[in-house]
Amino acid sequence: MTSIIPMPGTASTVERNVPKAHDRWMRIAGLALLVLAAACGDNLPAAPGGETLTDTNSDPNIVEVELVAAEGSHDYLPGKRADVWGFRDGARPGSKVTIPGPMLEGKLGDRVIVHFRNDLPEETTIHWHGIRLPHRHDGTPASQQPIPPGGTFDYEFSLVDAGLFWFHPHMRGDVQIERGLYAPLRVLADDGLDVAADRVFVLDDVKLASTGKLSDLTDSLDLMLGRQGNVIIVNGQSGRVVDAASGSRERWRFVNTANGRYFHLELPGYRFLVVGWDGGLVNTPYETERLLLAPGERYDVIVELTGAPGDRLTLRTVHYDRGHSIPDPGPIELLTVELGAEGAPSRALPATFGTVRPVVFDTATPRRRFILREDDSIPAAPVFTINDEAFPNITPVQASMGTEVWEILNESEMDHPFHLHGMSFQVLDDAGAPLAPLGWKDTFNVIRGTTRRFVVKIDAPGRWMYHCHILEHAERGMMGELEVAP
C-alpha cells in the first residue's frame, strides 16, 4: 500500500495555466517519484510511535518529563534510512528519536515540568502550540534566549484547557520542524465521551529523494506555497493499518504538522462528528463528510464504525484549492481502518459538550487590522508581509489587557492559516456574530481575498508571536509580535 502522491506533470491532471517553473518542478518531482518504493502497513498505536514521555514525578497532579532534541534516523519508507532531527524521551536510557516525537500527556489542571536539552548542532526553542501559559515559557525568541547546542531549559506551565495541542521549535521552523521536530500534546479531561479508542493522528508530509532520505532541494514553489512533500505520513509512516472493532465508537484527534500542506479529510461512507476544535470541545457537535485542516490546526471527532467485520475503510485527503492554481493530485490515501469482530456498544453521548461562553464585545471594542500580502516578483525570494512589514524587521504591536476585535485582511493570492500565541480567540462569521458552534481557535485559515474577524480576549502579559502557520511564509516575513502590557 502506498501514500505516494501521484504528481501532476506525469499525469493528465496538469492545469493549463500553471507557471513555467512549476511545470518544470513537477516533472523533476515526478521522475523522482517513479523510483520510490511503496510503504507497507502496520498497526497504529493510540500514541504515535507507541510512546508517551515518561512522567518521573510521583505526584499524580504533576507531569515531569525529560525531553531531548537530537539527531537520529527514521525509515519513512521501509528499509530506507533517513537522517532526521527529532525528540526523544530523556528519562529512558538509550531511547532513540521518533517521528513524531513522544507524546506529552497530562490531565486538565496538571502542572507540567519539561526539562529540555538541546543536542542539536544549532540553537532552538520549544513552543507549546495552543497552550495558554506564562509568556516566559512560550518558547520563542521573543520570550527567551535561544538554547545553544548542549544547552538546557526548564519549561513549566499548567494545563488549563483539555484537547489536542502540539509542540515544536520556534527557530528556523521551516527547517527544524520539517526535519522531524514535532510531537503531540494531549490533555485529557473527564468529558463523559465513552469511546472504544481515543487516537491521535499526526498528519504530515515529507519530500523524499529516491534514496528515502529527506530531500534538501527547496525550490521556489516550496517557498511560495510552503513545502509540499511527495510522501504523506500519519504518525511518521505511510500506508498504516488501524484495527478497530466493528460497531464501535472511536475518537480521533487530528493535528496538521505539515509545513504547507492542507489536509481535506474524508472517510467515504462515514461522517465525522466534530466535537472539538483547537482549544477544546465545542458547545454543539456537528456532522461533516469532509474536514479541512490547515497547517497548525486540530480537530477532535467521533466516528461511529458501523461497518461489518472485514470491512476496510480508507481515510483519505482530497483536493482543496488554496490558491495559485495548486493542481489537484486526486484523492490520496492516508490510512486503512480494518474492522474486526464486533465490539461492545458505547454509552450514549453526553447531552452537553463544551461550555464556551461568548467573549462579549460591541462597537466600542477596539479593532485592530492585519493585512496579509505576498510579493513574488522575485520567485526565488518571495516575501510575505503583515501590514507591509516582514519579520524580523517589524514594529511590535502594543496592546493592553482587554478585549479586541482583530480583522485579518488577506489581500494575497493564497490562503494563510493565522496563528496567535498565548491566547485563543473566537471567530466571527461574516455578519459579525460568533461562528457557530461556539469554540476556541488559535489557528484559523483566512481564505485569499477575504477578511476574517476574531474576537480576542487579551489576558496574558508578555511578548507573543502571531504568524501564518505555513512555515515558509512565517520564516519569510509573515510573522509579528504582540506586546501586552501587564
Binding site for ligand C2O (CB under 6 A): 127, 129, 168, 170, 296, 419, 421, 465, 467, 469
Query: Could you tell me how many residues of this chain bind Cu ion (CB under 5 A)?
Result: 4
DSSP state of 135: G
For residue 275, count CB atoms less than 10 angstroms from its CB and return exposed for 0-12, middle for 13-18, buried for 19 or more.
Answer: buried
Residue nearer to ligand C2O on the CB measure, 185 or 337: 185
Calculate the CA dihedral of residues 65, 66, 72, 75 and round it to 10 degrees. -10
Peptide bond before residue 100 is cis, with ω within 30 degrees of 0: yes
Query: Least separation, in Å, of the C-beta of 126 and ligand C2O?
Result: 11
The option from ligand C2O, Cu ion, none interacting with 316 (CB < 5 to 8 A, set by class) reads none
Q: Tell me phi and psi for residue 21, to 5 degrees.
A: -55, -35
Binding mask 454-483 for Cu ion (x = CB under 5 A): --------------x-x--x----------
**Out of Cu ion, ligand C2O, none, which partner does residue 179 contact, by CB within 5 to 8 A per kind?**
none
CB of 165 to ligand C2O, least distance (A): 9
Q: Based on CB atoms, which residue is closest to ligand C2O, 167 or 272?
A: 167
Residue facing ligand C2O at closest CB distance: 129
Quick one: 94 exposed, middle or buried, by C-beta within 10 A (0-12, 13-18, 19+)? exposed
**Half-sphere CA count of 34, side-chain side, radius 13 A:** 8
Q: Name the region of 105 (left: φ>0; alpha: ψ -120 to 50; beta: rest).
A: beta
296 binds, among Cu ion, ligand C2O, none (CB under 5 to 8 A by kind): ligand C2O
Q: How far is the CB of 253 from ligand C2O (least distance, A)?
A: 16
- Smaller CB distance to ligand C2O: residue 279 or 285? 279
Query: Minimum Å distance from CB 223 to Cu ion?
Result: 11
Smaller CB separation from Cu ion, 132 or 467: 467
Nearest to 347 by CA among 235, 451, 196: 196
Alpha carbon distance 424, 66 (integer Å)? 27
- Bridge partners (DSSP) of residue 453 are 407, 428
What is the smallest separation between the CB atom of 149 and ligand C2O, expressed in angstroms? 22
Instruction: Report DSSP letters for 443-459, one per residue.
Output: EEEE-TT-EEEEEEEE-
Residues in the chain: 486
Nearer to Cu ion, 251 or 416 (CB): 416
Task: Please state the closest distance from residue 469 (CB atom) to ligand C2O, in A.
Answer: 6
| DSSP 8-state class, residue 24 | H
Q: CB-wise, 53 or 465, nearer to ligand C2O?
A: 465
Residue closer to ligand C2O, measured from CB, 186 or 240 = 186
Backbone angles phi, psi at 325, to 5 degrees: 50, 40
Partner touching 103 among ligand C2O, Cu ion, none, CB below 5 to 8 Å by kind: none
Q: Collapsing DSSP states into helix, strand and coil, what is residue 474?
A: helix
Closest contact distance (angstroms) between CB of 67 and Cu ion is 28
Grid cell of 74 as nine digits = 527514521
| Choice between 186 and 322, CB closer to Cu ion | 322
Q: Which three cell numbers stand for residue 70?
A: 537530537
Each residue of 448-464: b (16+ CB within 10 Å) or e? beeebbbbbbbebbbbb
From the list Cu ion, ligand C2O, none, which binds 416 (C-beta under 5 to 8 Å, kind-based)? Answer: Cu ion
Which set of grid coordinates corresponds to residue 121? 548542532
Q: Which is nearer to ligand C2O, 200 or 465 (CB)?
A: 465
Give the SS3 label for residue 471.
helix
187 makes contact, choosing from ligand C2O, Cu ion, none, with CB < 5 to 8 Å by partner type, with none
- Minimum distance between the CB of residue 416 and Cu ion, rounded to whole angstroms? 3
Minimum CB separation of residue 421 from ligand C2O in Å reads 6
Binds Cu ion by CB under 5 A, chosen from 416, 448, 463, 467: 416
How far from chain centre, in Å, is Cα 94?
Answer: 28
Residue 30 backbone dihedrals phi, psi, to 5 degrees: -60, -45
Stretch that binds Cu ion, among 22-30, 53-61, 277-285, 415-423 (CB under 5 A): 415-423
Instruction: Tell me which residues touch Cu ion (CB under 5 A).
Output: 416, 468, 470, 473
